[in-house]
């Protein structure tokens, strides 16, 4: 049980300084503002050594404490349990989705993986599980991951006002695509949009939630991702905008319906360019084409592939922008081309 003192907001700073001076401030938790019928108060977290009262304020049990993230490094957490040689291989980065920590641990530290997991949970008290990442595999680009410690691998991640429910061992969620998802959230108002590789709603959900298109047709071939797509549509209350379709987008994409097509997949995306272009209205539309490409070809190959596919269909192309999303692997970039397709 965590304890605190609750003080009127106007006396908060004075009380905080007194608690700090007495050495009773619990610096692992946040000072929280609460509003009650009696007014606005601050809950100042204190240690168990505080007893029953500090000055004029009784000590109370604090419900749902809010913790501060630790500032020391993982190596510092493990410095007393690992050797100097082992510390050199300790991960220096990881990412958090919802309340789950995802980390890559080298094989040299296999026997220490649980110690590393425990240290990470100590650093992030709000998190409940640690998952080891081994990369991605298969046609559906599914993550290869192992639950090291905790109560499960399903979580809800909040981003840009939207909620994404997912199982981190079954579907990918790239933090590196954040800016592109934000960009998509500003486009499509009043339009008909086709999202050809919808996943769990990476682009469809923020676009529907913020831009409010007339309709988004979200196509996903992976049944596990599709199940989460349907859940996320409900979770974000965009059922009136998004129509989810389970299937291969080369066959399930409509023809001549869309003002805008999103091709947010990498690897073999160019094989789907003709169905993507065909999904656009005859009067034209915008294509957002993703590709992984060698760095020296980043400004040429994606554009050339779009123009070649469009040419086969008797269409013309105006390239609006080409931008780098992130480094995909050594010497390889993930880029996006925005192109207007017209007759």
pLDDT tens digit string along 260-298?
999 998 889 999 999 999 999 999 999 999 999 999 999
- Residue 251 pLDDT class (50, 70, 90 cuts): very high
308-343, pLDDT tens digit by residue?
999 999 999 999 999 999 888 899 999 999 999 999
- Domain boundary assignment for the chain: 2-62, 74-152, 174-342
Q: Return the pLDDT at 138.
A: 67
**For domain 74-152, which architecture applies?**
2-Layer Sandwich (3.30)
181-238, pLDDT tens digit by residue?
989 999 999 999 999 999 999 999 999 999 999 999 999 999 999 999 999 999 999 9
Mean pLDDT on 24-39: 88
83-108, pLDDT tens digit by residue?
999 999 999 889 899 999 999 999 99
Q: Return the pLDDT at 178.
A: 83
112-162, pLDDT tens digit by residue?
999 999 999 988 888 999 999 998 876 667 789 999 999 899 999 988 889
CA angle 52, 58, 61 (to 5 degrees): 75
* CATH superfamily for domain 174-342: Vaccinia Virus protein VP39 (3.40.50.150)
55-75, pLDDT tens digit by residue?
788 899 998 888 876 557 898
- Fold for the domain defined by 2-62: Alpha-Beta Plaits (3.30.70)
> Which DSSP helix (H) or strand (E) runs through 189?
none
Please state, in angstroms and rounded to a whole number, the distance separating the CA atoms of residues 68 and 63. 16
> Which DSSP helix (H) or strand (E) runs through 220?
strand 215-220
Burial 32-58 (b: 16+ CB within 10 A, else e): beeeeeeeebbbbbbeeebeeebeebe
Whole-angstrom CA distances from 206 to 181, 212, 261 are 7, 9, 15
Q: Return the pLDDT at 187.
A: 97
- Residue 240 pLDDT class (50, 70, 90 cuts): very high
- Does 4 score more than 60 pLDDT? yes
Residues contacting residue 190 through CB under 8 Å, at least 6 positions apart: 212, 213, 214
Compute, in degrees rounded to 10, the torsion defined by CA atoms 164, 323, 187, 197.
Answer: -50
């Amino acid at each position: 049980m965590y304890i605190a003192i609750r003080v009127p907001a106007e006396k908060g700073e004075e009380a905080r300084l007194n608690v700090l001076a007495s050495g009773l401030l619990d610096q692992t938790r946040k000072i929280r503002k609460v509003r009650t019928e009696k007014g606005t108060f601050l809950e100042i977290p204190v240690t168990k050594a505080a007893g029953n009262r500090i000055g004029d304020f009784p000590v109370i049990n604090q419900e749902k404490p809010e913790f501060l993230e630790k500032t020391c490094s993982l190596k510092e957490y493990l410095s007393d349990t690992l050797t100097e040689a082992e510390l050199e291989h300790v991960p220096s980065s990881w990412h958090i989705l919802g309340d789950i920590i995802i980390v890559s641990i080298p094989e040299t530290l296999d026997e220490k993986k649980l110690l590393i997991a425990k240290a990470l949970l100590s650093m992030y008290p709000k998190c409940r599980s640690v998952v080891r990442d081994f990369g991605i595999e298969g046609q559906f680009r599914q993550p290869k991951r192992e639950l090291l410690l905790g109560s499960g691998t399903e979580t809800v991640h909040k981003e840009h006002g939207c909620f994404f429910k997912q199982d981190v061992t079954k579907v990918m969620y790239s933090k590196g695509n954040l800016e592109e998802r934000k960009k998509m959230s500003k486009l499509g108002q009043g339009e008909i949009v086709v999202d050809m590789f919808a996943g769990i709603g990476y682009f469809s959900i923020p676009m529907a939630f913020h831009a409010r298109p007339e309709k988004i047709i979200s196509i996903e071939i992976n049944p596990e991702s599709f199940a989460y797509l349907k859940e996320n549509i409900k979770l974000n209350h965009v059922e009136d905008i998004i129509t989810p379709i389970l299937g291969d987008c080369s066959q399930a994409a409509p023809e001549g319906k869309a003002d805008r097509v999103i091709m947010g997949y990498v690897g073999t995306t160019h094989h789907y360019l003709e169905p993507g272009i065909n999904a656009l209205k005859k009067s034209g539309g915008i294509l957002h084409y993703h590709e992984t490409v060698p760095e020296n070809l980043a400004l040429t190959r994606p554009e050339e592939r779009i123009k070649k596919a469009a040419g086969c269909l008797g269409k013309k192309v105006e390239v609006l922008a080409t931008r780098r999303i992130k480094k995909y692997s050594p010497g390889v970039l993930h880029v996006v081309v925005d192109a207007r397709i017209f007759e």
